[in-house]
Amino acid sequence: MKLTNEIKKKIVLEKDSGVSTSTIAARYDIPIKTIKH
């Protein structure tokens, strides 16, 4: 899945809400290292 700005915003919001990185990675089918900025 290509990371659009819309998805990036959702990921940031979910991380701020305390959702774990692995959960987000599974939900959007992307590598965990992609999320860790």
Nearest-angstrom CA–CA distance, 26 and 28: 6
At CA 2, angle to CA 26 and CA 31, rounded to 5?
35
Q: Tell the burial category of 11 from Cβ atoms under 10 Å away from its Cβ (0-12, 13-18, 19+).
A: buried
Q: Six-digit token pair at 23?
A: 């959960």
Average pLDDT over residues 8-12: 93
The answer, as to whether pTM is greater than 0.75, is: no
Average pLDDT over the chain reads 89
Average pLDDT over residues 13-19: 96
Contact indicator for 6, 16 with CB cutoff of 8 Å: no
